[in-house]
């Protein structure tokens, strides 16, 4: 059974989320370990998806006024295309609306994930750029 759970940087579950970031971003994509966690993790809303008792994916949204920035969305390779990434993003946005009344969500999408975010209602803005050696494009979704 799939469940979504709010986690935070100060509990043990964040270590499991870190391991998913490590496997996905560093293991698969060669992102430097030093970029996996940053100062925003302390304040971000963090959500993890569990399949039964195993964490299968995670993500966060950082609040700045009425804008939420989604990031660090990662789903284990063998758990993809099952709707987990979508559920994580929707949960993050719903918590951010309920707690902070945000009116816009932004993110820096890897170009390989652009269609995934388009299906969630995001639109690309601006041109493609390189971050951590990976092609990205900025995306946004107005909520009202
Ligand atoms: C991108 C990622 C988070 C998507 O997670 P996921 O659990 O596989 O996505 P979902 O199953 O919820 O997909 C939702 C929809 O998007 C589609 N989709 C998912 N990934 C896609 C991709 N890379 N390209 C095109 N479509 C994609 C799915 O087919 C599904 O479409 P549907 O609703 O028509 O069936 C996952 O592939 C991942 O962790 N990738 C590596 C890390 C990464 O790139 N993170 C994003 C950083 S910006």
pLDDT at 76: 98
Return the CATH number at 65: 3.40.630.30
Closest ligand 1 atom to Cα of 84: 7
Closest ligand 1 atom to Cα of 108: 48
Q: What tens digit of pLDDT does each residue of 23-71 get?
A: 999 999 999 999 999 999 999 999 999 999 999 999 999 999 999 999 9
Residue 43 inside a domain? The answer is: yes
Measure the CA–CA gap between 96 and 17, rounded to whole angstroms.
19
Give, for ligand 1, the residue of 113, 132, 139 to mutate: max count of ligand atoms closer than 8 Å to Cβ: 113
Residue 141 inside a domain? The answer is: no
Query: Long-range CB contacts (< 8 A, 24+ apart) of 34-37?
Result: 35/132, 36/72
| Structural domain that includes position 53 | 2-105
Count of domains for the chain: 1
Give residue 48 CA to ligand 1 midpoint distance, Å. Answer: 15
Q: What tens digit of pLDDT does each residue of 83-115 get?
A: 999 999 999 999 999 999 999 999 999 999 999
């Amino acid at each position: 059974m799939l469940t979504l759970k709010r986690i935070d940087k100060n509990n043990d579950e964040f270590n499991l989320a870190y391991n998913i970031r490590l496997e996905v971003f560093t293991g698969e994509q060669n992102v430097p370990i030093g970029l996996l966690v940053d100062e925003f993790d302390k304040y971000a809303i963090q959500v993890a998806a569990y399949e039964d008792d195993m964490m299968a994916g995670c993500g966060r949204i950082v609040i700045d006024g009425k804008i939420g920035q989604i990031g660090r969305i990662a789903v284990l390779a063998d758990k993809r295309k099952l709707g987990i990434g979508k559920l994580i993003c929707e949960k993050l946005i719903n918590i951010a609306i309920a707690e902070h009344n945000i009116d816009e969500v932004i993110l820096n999408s890897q170009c390989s994930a652009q269609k995934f975010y388009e299906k969630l209602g995001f639109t690309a803005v601006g041109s493609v750029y390189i971050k951590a050696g990976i092609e990205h494009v900025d995306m946004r979704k107005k909520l009202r």
